[in-house]
Amino acid sequence: MLAVDTLILGGGLTGLSAAYHLDKQAATTGTLRAGNWLLVEKDARLGGLTRTEVIDGYHFDHTGHWLHLRYPEMKQFVADVMGDAMQQVVRKSRIWSHGALTHFPFQQNLHGLPLAVVHECVQAAIEAALAGAKGELPPVNDFRQFCLQQFGKGITERFMVPYNTKLWGCPPEEITADWCSRFLPKPNLAQIVAGAIGLVDDQAGYNASFIYPRQGGIETFAKAIISKLPAAKVRCNARPLAIDLEQKTATLSDGSVVQWQRLLSSVPLPDLFEVLSPVPEGLRQTIKLLRCTSLRYMNYGIARTGVLDDIQWLYIPEAHYPFYRIGSFSNAVASLAPVGKSSLYVEVAANCTDSDADVKLAVRQFLRDHGWLDTDAQIEVEQVRHIRYGYVVFDRNYFGVRADLLAFLDQAGVASRGRYGGWVYSSMEDAMWEGYRFAQAAVTAS
Ligand SMILES: Cc1cc2nc3c(=O)[nH]c(=O)nc-3n(C[C@H](O)[C@H](O)[C@H](O)COP(=O)(O)OP(=O)(O)OC[C@H]3O[C@@H](n4cnc5c(N)ncnc54)[C@H](O)[C@@H]3O)c2cc1C
């Protein structure tokens, strides 16, 4: 039996960051135990969601993966592993709705929409602001109510409800507004009015600019971290078949048994609980309440330039389109497609039941209608992909269920972290940060 101080399950950014920072801590603090880890990844290749597919010279991430950093420690981490191999990109995103292209975010850039829509949205935003100023606001129970209070009925019905229904795959009455505090720009009335008369503010939101590898897709970043890790401490094509929480052992699919003191898992929570024991029966029932979307998306390689003009991604809220976002990797970073060609992704609405063939027809029609596709022969790559765990759904059970599961794991010595280990709506930086924090805590505890 192999005995390690830390067993890391999952080689996405959470696990990679933990491994990197454990080794760094071991080297800088002399805490040798910290460096005694094993990373186990079920797939043949490390990187998780930050892997890049390369097909005929076209580069495809798992849809847009743009890196935005707020923690100084993470900026340093990226600089340490990437040197100057990252570039900064200024966001250029748009919204296609009501037959018009408008700037992002919708609520702050109404100008360009049909005048009746602009009028309706501004009028309702004024009424919502007046109601708020008078203190006439009832408690908010769901995402629709949140939007009504925050933006008024016009913006809510014209954008927030249709777009979020496609993204989350359920009516906005079923989700809370708790996911959006960091991710949803919330302009005040003055900003809404300014945007309605055409004073464009393109800087709103957390991702007005981002960084990205100059070459090779987002996987270049994952590979840079991997290059710093000793290969002997990484095991791919292996996953736990059974984890005994009392004995602190994991039986792996390659037949080996690993004894651990600490376990960091970024395995999706439902999958982790399938192999854990002992687990109280009540918790096994609780876990069934976790909800998430499964994401269907498509990669496109198109033999021409100017697809989406120079837009990097386009939000498409209206229900009659089966997709909610189309992005161009190569408009953001030219090296992601061969010279003279374009690489794109299309994210299919979670509530869309159309067949793949029908979605492909709709995508081609949409591109043709905008003059972004001349003939079908230009399409060199058109492939459908699935992400089993896509977006965690923040329904009313979410906080209680998640807290119970994580508390149980914590007391058993299991840190379940990352996007699906922690069951959150989070970014690449969040994953790196959690790995970093885990490593810090491990050294403090040693
Ligand atoms: C569609 C989409 C778009 C996104 N866009 C952005 C963006 O633009 N910017 C941004 O910052 N973030 C973005 N994110 C979020 C970002 O991808 C994640 O937060 C981050 O990559 C999560 O890293 P992780 O290590 O927690 O999870 P993952 O990357 O999912 O890694 C988990 C790893 O565990 C492995 N694993 C699973 N089960 C087992 C098992 N039983 N045993 C062993 N290994 C196992 C998996 O194979 C995987 O390698 C996006 C996410 C999605 C889904």
Distance 418 CA to ligand 1 centre (A): 7
Distance from the alpha carbon of residue 10 to the mean position of ligand 1, in angstroms: 9
Backbone Cα Rg of the chain: 23
Q: Which residues contact 252 (CB under 8 A, 6 or more apart)?
A: 40, 235, 238, 239, 240, 241, 258
**Closest by alpha carbon to 35, among 73, 75, 8?**
8
CA-nearest residue for atom 35, ligand 1, is 10
pLDDT values of the chain reduced to their tens digit, one per residue, 446 residues:
899 999 999 999 999 999 999 999 999 988 778 899 999 999 999 999 999 999 999 999 999 999 999 999 999 999 999 999 999 999 999 999 999 999 999 999 999 999 999 999 999 999 999 999 998 788 899 999 999 999 999 999 999 999 999 999 999 999 998 877 778 899 999 999 999 999 987 777 777 899 999 999 999 999 999 999 999 999 999 999 999 999 999 999 999 999 999 999 999 999 999 999 999 999 999 999 999 999 999 999 999 999 999 999 999 999 999 999 999 999 999 999 999 999 999 999 999 999 999 999 999 999 999 999 999 999 999 999 999 999 999 999 999 999 999 999 999 999 999 999 999 999 999 999 999 999 999 878 76
Domain with CATH 3.50.50.60 in the chain: 2-52+69-85+214-291+394-445
How many other CB atoms are found less than 10 A from the CB of residue 203?
11
Global pTM reads 0.96
What's the CATH class of domain 295-387?
Answer: alpha beta
Tell me the CA distances in angstroms from 22 to 16, 71, 346, 386, 396, one per residue in order: 10, 18, 37, 32, 36
Dist. CA 51 → ligand 1 center (Å):
9
Residues touching ligand 1 (Cβ under 6 Å) are: 9-15, 40-43, 48-50, 62-67, 239-240, 266-267, 271, 295, 387, 390, 418-420, 426-431
CATH superfamily placement of domain 2-52+69-85+214-291+394-445: FAD/NAD(P)-binding domain (3.50.50.60)
Q: How far apart are CA 399 and CA 141, in angstroms?
A: 14
Measured from the Cα of 417, ligand 1's closest atom is: 26
Mutate to test the pocket of ligand 1, among 45, 428, 433 (most ligand atoms within 8 A of CB): 428
112 C-alpha vs ligand 1 centroid, how far in Å?
37
72-82 helix and 219-226 helix, angle to the nearest 10 degrees: 80
Give the 3-state secondary structure of residue 118. helix
From atom 19 of ligand 1, which residue's Cα is the shortest distance away? Answer: 427
Residue ranges of the chain that CATH labels 3.30.70:
295-387
Sign of the C-alpha dihedral computed for residues 413, 414, 418 and 423 taken in this order: negative
Q: How many CB atoms lie within 10 A of CB 126?
A: 15
Task: Give the position, in ligand 1's atom list, of the atom nearest the Cα of 50.
Answer: 21
CA 306 to centroid of chain Cα atoms: 26
Query: For residue 195, which amino acid is it?
Result: G
Ligand 1 atom closest to Cα of residue 49: 29
Say which residues have a Cβ less than 8 Å from residue 13's Cβ, sequence separation at least 6.
Answer: 48, 49, 50, 222, 225, 418, 428, 431, 432, 435
Beta strands in 163-248 (DSSP E): 209-213, 234-235, 240-244
- Cα-to-centroid distance, 48 and ligand 1 (Å): 5
| Token duo for residue 192 | 């809404």
